[in-house]
Amino acid sequence: MPQTLLDVRNLWVSYPQSSSRQQAVKAIDKADTYAIEDVSFQLAAGEKIGFVGESGCGKSTLGKAIMRLLPPQSRIEGQILFEGQSVPDLNPEAIQRFRGETVGLIFQDPMTRLDPLMTIGNHCLETLQAHEPRLTKQQAKQRALDTLAAVKITADRWHQYPHEFSGGMRQRVAIALALLLNPKLIIADEPTTSLDVRVSAEILQELTRLCAERQMGLLLISHDLATIATYCDRIVVMNKGRKEEEGTVEQIFGNPQALYTQTLLRAALHIQADREQPAKVDDPDVENSSVLTKQQVPILTVDRLQKYYTIETSFLQRLFTKAQTKIVKAVDNIQLELYEGEIFGLVGESGCGKSTLSRTILQLIPATGGTVTFAGEELTRLSPAEMRAKRRDMQMIFQDPSASLNPMMTVGESIADPLNIHQLNATPAATRAQVLAMLERVGLNPAPEYFDRYPRQLSGGQQQRVGIARALITKPKLVICDEPVSMLDATIQSEVLDLMLELKRQDNLTYLFITHDLWLARFLCDRIAVMNRGQIVEMGPTQAIFSNPQHPYTQELLAAAPLLRKQG
């Protein structure tokens, strides 16, 4: 019988409340004030347990409670035992050792874990020096390099800073930091949200291999049901702080008992459905192949586009190592065309150049070479003022809705901002009316109530709806979507994607959809281009790419993508 590592018994957690809030909830039932409500479970050595549920259901709170990372004055009831020892009773010195040496935590947002003023190498050395001061600097560096290599970070990036890494690369660093001290348990809070399918598979395979070899436990928090089903032994379904259901993968996905679990499963299967025709154009009865015949002149043409970066070496590096200046070809001779009314997917692993390409198309960063032609006008020749005016017809939906919204501006002000920038309304009253109408279109009702809210008062799905409203308020012809639903759970993903499809049908929008989720691309896109190391290696109709991939890299991506199948 495997040894029990973690034993959580009847856990209740509430966050500290302001005095006014405390007065307001005095008469409310206890359960309505708690983020975690009477949750119990056990995790054995070498076992992998997955926690799933919508954002706000308490998954991350549970992980923070185990690590004692909740805000001061948070209220905890029940027991958290690790190898029989009470975690809440550990003294400050013991809890410092517990975090890292005993339990490693991988955060969802790597930028909350990484110091922007420290190099990646110094992050690793600081962690090792704090916990294993007897290691020499050379020993510490070698262990760090070995761990970084395990998550596909090469030694030449040792001296770089977090801002020089893509989102996916930063997440790899965060995973490496959690593995540095060989902990007995890893708590992984959405560890591969911003990673492509191949790297996600490599990292999760590495984590599960370590669990088996070292009898290390894994508590995996994710909104991706396919990932949970692929890599976990047991699943706990959370909803509004409560444990709805617990069981093996076969039990949960083959015969879910809770209505909430059934809803989650339906939403995930809906997105991964293999549609004969992914997304329709104009008329739902018109086949996707008609996209290219209805509009022969492309709305967007990218011709031999290049974006190169130069990594300068210091004088000492050149003197002692003879290191040469390195050229990084983030975007290398890209050629593609988008036609009015189509959804064009761009897929590939993190760091392959997808986001750099989108920003170069919008001229947010200057191209090294090549041209971008939009609606018959070459963008690379426009002045900054002319390009700014042109962006009225080219808008962007960002990956992280909370980071893309100004926390000091209300929802109404954020959506109205593009109208004010482009001077599209003469009066504040006209602007307000247009914003309220857009709020209703994206399903934020009652619109006047949402108009005066701040981003922090919205859920992740609601924030992304605001991002969509802001992108569409100027009535653009082209919308570039950079991982717009990767941070949302399955049910909210399904809602947002259906909304985007409906808005596309209403306004005949053209989407450039950037994603690392292959099943999402299959669900949504008419055509797909696969990027690898700055180049497009394969491009074609969605069904052709999935049914008969030609390039070895595309074949690797498809083989690595976890697919959710209903059990039984």
Please write the tens of the pLDDT for every residue from 341-367. Answer: 999 999 987 778 888 999 999 999 999
CA 355 to chain centre: 13
Query: Which range has the worst mean pLDDT, 19-33, 428-442, 460-474?
Result: 19-33
**What is the distance between the alpha carbons of residues 353 and 365, in angstroms, rounded to a whole number?**
13
Point out the least confidently predicted range of 78-82, 193-197, 260-264, 519-523: 193-197
Q: What end-to-end distance do the CA atoms of the chain give, in Å?
A: 28
Sheet hosting strand 85-86, strand order edge to edge: 36-44, 4-14, 75-82, 85-86
pLDDT of 284 above 70: no
User: 422-429 — which CB contacts under 8 Å span 24+ positions?
Assistant: 422/389, 422/392, 422/474, 424/392, 424/474
pLDDT at position 319 is 62
Q: Rounded to an integer, what distance in angstroms lies between the CA atom of residue 182 and that of residue 216?
A: 9
pLDDT of res. 499: 86
What gap in Å lies between CA 95 and CA 268, rounded to an integer?
Answer: 38
Higher pLDDT, 402 or 369: 369
Mean pLDDT score, 92-101: 91
Tell me, rounded to whole angstroms, the distance of Cα 13 from its chain centroid.
Answer: 26
- What backbone phi and psi angles, to 5 degrees, belong to 550? -95, -40
**Structure confidence at residue 290 (pLDDT):** 40
Count of beta carbons in the 10 Å neighbourhood of residue 289: 13
Average model confidence (pLDDT) across the chain: 84
How does pLDDT run across 154-163, given as a tens digit for each residue?
999 999 999 8
- Rounded distance, CA 234 to CA 48, Å? 7
What's the mean pLDDT in 531-543? 93
**530 strand-pairing partners:** 347, 538
Please check whether residue 528 is in contact with residue 521, taking contact to mean a CB–CB distance below 8 angstroms. Answer: yes
pLDDT of the residue at 27:
43
DSSP-assigned letters across all residues of 109-123? SGGGTS-TTS-HHHH
Helix axes 259-271, 490-507, angle to 10 degrees: 50
Q: How large is the C-alpha radius of gyration of the chain?
A: 25
Mean pLDDT of 135-146: 93
| Count of CB atoms situated within 10 Å of the CB of 64 | 18
Q: Rounded to whole angstroms, how far apart are CA atoms 479 and 469?
A: 12
- pLDDT at residue 25, as a whole number: 45
The C-alpha atoms of residue 184 and residue 377 are separated, in whole angstroms, by: 59
Rounded CA-CA distance 562/152 in Å is 20
pLDDT of residue 316: 62
Judged by DSSP in three states, 14 sits in strand
Query: Do 141 and 102 form a contact (C-beta atoms < 8 A)?
Result: no
Report the 10 Å Cβ neighbour count for 113: 18
**How far apart are the C-alpha atoms of 399 and 382, rounded to whole Å?**
27
Residue 20 has pLDDT above 70, yes or no: no
- β-sheet with 369-374: strand ranges across: 326-338, 300-311, 369-374, 377-378
Q: Is the pLDDT of residue 459 over 60?
A: yes
301 Cβ contact partners less than 8 Å away, ≥ 6 residues apart: 336, 337, 338, 371, 372, 373, 374
The answer on pLDDT for 237 being more than 70 is yes
- Predicted local confidence at residue 315, as pLDDT: 60
Is residue 111 pLDDT above 80, yes or no? no
Q: What is the mean pLDDT of residues 379-395?
A: 90
How far does CA 348 lie from the centroid of its chain? 14
What are the CA-CA distances from residue 156 to residues 115, 119, 323, 324, 534 (Å)? 19, 12, 11, 12, 19
pLDDT of residue 317: 62
Q: Report the percent of the chain where pLDDT is more than 90.
A: 46
Tell me the sheet residues that pair with 306: 369
| 35-39, 271-275, 520-524: segment of lowest average pLDDT | 271-275
For the entire predicted model, the pTM comes to 0.70
